[in-house]
A and B are shown apart, each in its own frame.
Chain A
C-alpha cells in the first residue's frame, strides 16, 4: 500500500452505527505516515469498524505509555527505535559519541528498557499490546568498523532481546517478527535521514507501510483454521503407493524426497499443537495402513484421523472427514499435489482453502509451509489442544449409539461414566473461556465475540457471571468445552453468551448446563439473548426442542417447562472453584 492509497482508504465511507476501534500508537518520533498506514491497514482488516488511531507527545515514548489510560482503547501499538532508549543513539540530538561516553549510552539504554518493561507489563495486563522493536540501523557511534559488531552494540542487542522475550510471555503481548520484517522491508532501505532531520519522521514511506501492516495484523489476530486434510501419494510421501509398494515410497534427503519429509515434520508439528490432521487418498486402504506403520514416518498414524483411503472422489472423502471432525468447511485446508483433485474438492467446498502441494518447486514449498503456519497460528497452546484429537476419535461413538434411539443413547451415556465440572467465577489467568467464545461457531447463542480489551472489562464487571464447563468420561478428558455468561434479574437468568465446543455434542451437556443455571441461581426462567447466525444451526436446533413453536428473538424458558422437556441427564456433576 502506498501513501496515496492509504490516505484514500481513510476517506472511504464508514457506516453510522460502525463499532469504534480505538488504537493508541506509541512511538517517540512524529507518527505522521505510520499513523496513516496503521489506520488504513486496520480499515482493511476491520471494514465494519470506525478506526481511530491516536498518538501521544513527540519524543516521549515511555512517558506516553506511562500516561496511557488503557480503558479508553482497544489495542496498543508500540514502535520503539534506538533514540527512544537513549537520544544519543539517534541523529536528531548532539549528545556526543566520545569513547568515554559509550558505556553510559549503553547503561542509559538498559535503564530505559527497564522502565519500558514496567510500563508495558502494567498496560498489557489490561490492553492487547503489539510491539515493534528497533528496525533502523544504529548510527556509526562505536569505534569499530561498521562491518564489525562492537561489544557495546552486542550488549544493546542482547538486552533488547531479553526485554522482548520477557514481554512476549504475556498473554496479550505480541512482538513483531524481525525476520519477517526483513523479508518485506530490506533493512538498508528503511531509514530516511532527510525526513528524520526535517520532519522528525525517520521512515521511508514503504517501511512505514510494512510496519503499519504488521501491527494491524497482530492487532487483528485471525481465527486459526482447525484442520488440514492431506493427500498421501506424491504429497505426504514421494511415489505412488499402489505402484511402488510400502517400502518404495520415500521422504528422506538421500532419496531426493526431502520436501516430503519436511512436510511430514510440519504436519506432526501442527498435530502436536492441537490441529486436526486427516488423510484423503485414492488408494488401497490396506496398503495405506501398512505405510503408516513404517517406523521412519515422521507423522505418526495416531496423529492422523480419519484416514480416508478408497477410490471414490476426493470430495466424498472430505465430506466424511468434516462429518467426523464436526467442523465447517471454512475451518479446514485441503492439500493435494494434483491440481485436478484440488479443483474437484474446491468445487464441492467453495469455502474451503484448497492448495496444490508444490512437490518440485522449492521456493513455493517454503512459501506453503509459511502460509500454513500463519493459517494455523496460535499465540499459546492449551490443555484442550492436546485433548482434541483423542476426543474426536471417541465422539463418533456418541453420535451413533447402537440402534440410534433415545433409550440406547441413555444407556450408552450412562455407561460412559461422564463427569461434568462447573467452574463458577472469572479467573483472569484462564484464557479458555475467551478462546471458546471467540472461536466457537456452531453451538453459539449469538455469534458475538469479545476483543481482548472488552474481555478485560467483562472480567471486572460484577453484574455478570461466567460459568465454564469441563467434561471427562471413561474415553478420556475433553477439558473445558463450554462457557456461559449471564446475569440475574430477580428470578430470571439472562444468558448473554453461551458456547459449546463441537467436540462435546451429543452428550446432553447442554441440558446439564441449563439445569445447573436453574439450580445455581434459583431461577424461575431463563431468557436467551439469541441471534441466528449463518453457522449456529446446532444451537438453534437445540433450543427448538425446548420451546413450543419456532424459536424467536430472546426466547424464554421456564424451569417447569424445561424439566418437562429435558431427557434423562446422565452425568455426574460437581461444582468447583473457578481457580481450581
Chain B
C-alpha cells in the first residue's frame, strides 16, 4: 500500500469508524457498515481537507467504491497515477 492509499484509507476510516479496511476497500458506499448521508458528508469534508477536492454527495454516490474515488483523485492529479 502506498502513501496515497494510506491517506485515502485514513479518510474513509475516520468517516466510517465501524468498518474494517477490507469492507472499505471492497464494499459499495451504501453497503459500508455505518453508512448514512451524514457519514457521506463527513467523508466529503475529510477528502476536501486532505486532498483539497470538492465533491458533492450525488457525485460521490456515483463513484460507488474506494477504488473509484482513488481513480477520480488520480485523474485530477491529486494523487499519483493509479495502476489499472
> Residues on A close to B: CB < 8 A?
2-4, 7-8, 10-11, 32-33, 36, 194-195, 198-199, 201, 205
Contact = CB atoms under 8 A, between A and B. Distances in A.
A8 B42 CA distance: 13
Given A8-B14, A195-B45, A205-B48, 12 more contacts: A2-B49, A3-B42, A3-B46, A4-B10, A7-B14, A7-B17, A7-B42, A10-B17, A36-B42, A194-B54, A199-B57, A205-B45
Nearest to A8: B14
Interface of B: 10-11, 14-15, 17, 38, 41-42, 45-46, 48-50, 54, 56-57
Contacts of A33: 42, 45
A487 B42 CA distance: 50
B49 A4 contact: yes
A329 to B, nearest CB: 40
Taking chain A's interface residues, is the majority helix, strand, or loop, or is none over half, making it mixed?
helix
Among A2, A3, A10, residue most surrounded by chain B Cβ atoms (within 10 Å): A3
A237 to B, nearest CB: 49
A558 to B, nearest CB: 56
Contact of A199 (B15, B41, B49, B50): B41
A254 to B, nearest CB: 51
Contacts, number: 38
B17 A4 contact: no
B57 A198 contact: yes
Given A4-B11, A7-B17, A32 B46 contact: no
Contacts of A198: 56-57
29 contacts: A2-B49, A3-B14, A3-B42, A3-B46, A4-B10, A4-B11, A4-B46, A4-B49, A4-B50, A7-B14, A7-B15, A7-B17, A7-B42, A7-B46, A8-B14, A11-B17, A32-B38, A32-B41, A32-B42, A33-B42, A33-B45, A36-B42, A194-B54, A198-B56, A198-B57, A199-B57, A205-B45, A205-B48, A205-B49
B15 to A, nearest CB: 7
Contacts of B46: 3-4, 7
A3 B10 CA distance: 11
Contacts of B54: 194
Contacts of B38: 32
Contacts of B45: 3, 32-33, 195, 205
Nearest 9 CB-CB pairings of A with B: A7-B14, A4-B14, A11-B17, A4-B46, A3-B46, A3-B49, A199-B41, A3-B45, A2-B49
A518 to B, nearest CB: 56
A2 to B, nearest CB: 6
Contacts of B42: 3, 7, 32-33, 36
A194 B17 CA distance: 26
A568 B47 CA distance: 73
Most chain A CB inside 10 Å of its own CB: which residue of B10, B46, B50? B46
Nearest to B11: A4
| Best-surrounded residue of A3, A4, A194, A201 (most CB of chain B within 10 A) | A4
A4 B54 CA distance: 16
